Amino acid sequence: MSVEVTKLSTGLTVVTDAMPHLETASLGVWVAAGSRDEFHDEHGISHLLEHMAFKGTSRRNARQIAEEIEAVGGDINAATSIESTAYYARVLRADVPLALDVLSDILSDPSFEPAELAREQNVIVQEIGAVEDTPDDVVFEHLQSTAYPGQAVGRSILGTPATVRAFDKDALQTYLSRNYRAPDMVISAAGALDHATVVEEAERRFASFAGAGGPTPEPARFGGGARIEPRDLEQVHIAMGLQGLPQGHKDLYSLQVFTSALGGGMSSRLFQEVREKRGLCYAIYSFHVPYSDTGMFGLYAGTDAADVPELMRVVVEEIGNAVDTITEEEIARCRAQMKVGLLMALESSGARAEQLARQMIAYGRPIPLEEIVGKIEAVTVESARAAGRALLSGSQPAIAALGPGSGLESAATIAESLVRRAA
């Protein structure tokens, strides 16, 4: 195995996977802090900080940050999620030290200059507006807030125009100092690189990130319920969620396979029955998102307002039937899809670096491919069905519906029948 791990004296972890056949390397800093780590008056600050990190330091202005990486043919970017924030770059082997220098600079010495802050706050307000104009984004934000009401894990990552505009330099610095701590940070790299070089650069450039880890966010509580919003749209967008499983749960892979068989591709039950046989929608799929202490199974569909009741009845019927009738053929197909997905990640340095970082944050170690494949292969018809039954016997569903028509409430009523049926 080409993966190497070194924990620095500060507690920061460096993990790499050398891929000698490549000429480029993907590397980044993953911080185990995201939107659910925000206090009640910090809604949206994680995402704002991600933006502001690129807006200048004492050594570089915003233009120089971009130009130094692009001058060597590389690229640099970042992303904020519910439980983590990532800053990453892709460069040639010789430019790995440069990338680490830029990444350390923007995280250890951001200037948060007021004029840049005002501009970026306006940019994010525009981003929030773009999401509001995209109904299949809005419906997922509504689903998250319905599933986890009154909690940071249920709030929009972007924040609101009011909360974003309220933050100043001190608020950003306070959040950064509290959450960007070495024990909660992983430098992950894959591709054309040398582990010792990455470690040496990390020790020198990230020494300022010291101290104990940041505070643990409050435990998630799955609520359930419905959020119905009439809008003048061409379609009704529906998303439904049930309480799933957290990372590391012994039944996680069984539930992932169940989810895939139900709505994970063109051969899945939902796609075949709802779209191919009945023509009730263009897009329909199911998913499962595991977090550190909870998880959410969900599904999405977009349909004509007149077809909402029939679509939801078919969805409920298919989920209920799958618990009892999923076959070995379906399980084998889903196992194959999951294994191929793993192998595809190994072919991309960027995907591999992200995979390693997430494993280190979630499990504290890189997970060998053979171990993951073994867990996938261990899923049986019986274990997948059991995972589905446990899913339906858990929480009340959360449902969000967005679109035209006066009968959107029927979607919530029919969804609730899923749990009643299981009981």
Three-point CA angle 388, 394, 397, nearest 5°:
95
Could you tell me which of 260, 273, 366, 291 has the C-alpha nearest to residue 3?
Answer: 366
Q: Are residues 389 and 311 in the same domain?
A: yes
Helix (H, G, I), strand (E, B) or coil at 219: coil
Which of 78, 29, 77, 351 minimizes the C-alpha distance to 186? 29
Residues 170-186 have a mean pLDDT of 97
User: How many Cα atoms are found within 13 Å in the side-chain-facing hemisphere of 384?
Assistant: 28
- Looking at residues 386-410, what average pLDDT do you find? 88
> 293 and 194 share a domain?
no
- What's the CA dihedral at 336, 341, 345, 347 to 10 degrees? 60
Mark whether 312 and 400 lie in a shared domain.
Answer: yes
Q: Say whether both 199 and 263 belong to one domain.
A: no
pLDDT tier, 97 (very low <50, low <70, confident <90, very high otherwise): very high
Pair 185, 237 in one domain: no
Are both 284 and 172 inside the same structural domain?
A: no
Mean pLDDT of 33-47: 97
Spatial distance between the Cα atoms of 43 and 141, rounded to a whole number of angstroms: 14
Report, as an integer, the average pLDDT of 381-394: 93
CB atoms near residue 116 (< 10 Å) = 18
Q: Is 67 part of the annotated catalytic residue set?
A: no
Same domain as 363, residue 279 = yes
60 and 176 part of one domain = yes
State residue 270's pLDDT score: 96
Same domain, 199 and 326: no
Instruction: Examine the pLDDT at 302 and tell me if it is beyond 90.
Output: yes
CA dihedral (88, 13, 346, 330) positive or negative: negative
Assigned domain for 413 exists: yes
220 in any annotated domain:
no
For the record, the structure tokens of 367 come out as 């997970």
The CATH number for 410's domain is 3.30.830.10
Range of the domain at 107: 3-205
Q: Per-residue pLDDT for 13 more than 80? A: yes
Residue 414 has what pLDDT?
80
Tokens of 96: 């790995």
pLDDT in tens, 229-273: 999 999 999 999 999 999 999 999 999 999 999 999 899 999 999
Last residue of a domain, one of 205, 238, 258: 205
Same domain, 141 and 264: no
252: helix, strand or coil: helix
For the whole model, what pTM was predicted?
A: 0.94
**Hey, what are 224's tokens?**
């359930």
Contacts 24+ apart (CB under 8 A), 58-67: 58/109, 58/111, 59/105, 59/109, 60/102, 60/105, 60/106, 62/116, 65/102, 65/105, 65/106
Per annotation, catalytic residue among 38, 50, 120, 141:
50
- The pLDDT-based confidence of 137 (bands split at 50, 70, 90) is very high
pLDDT for 393 equals 86
160 and 49 fall within a common domain: yes
Task: Give CA–CA dist 240/225, Å, rounded.
Answer: 10
Burial class (CB in 10 A: 0-12, 13-18, 19+), 131: middle
State the distance between the two ends of the chain, measured CA to CA, in whole angstroms.
Answer: 47
The amino acid that residue 163 corresponds to is: T
In a domain, 335, yes or no: yes
Please check whether residue 184 is in contact with residue 360, taking contact to mean a CB–CB distance below 8 angstroms. Answer: no
When divided into structural domains, the chain yields a total of 2
> E strand or H helix at 237, and its extent?
strand 236-243
Shared domain check, 8 and 86:
yes
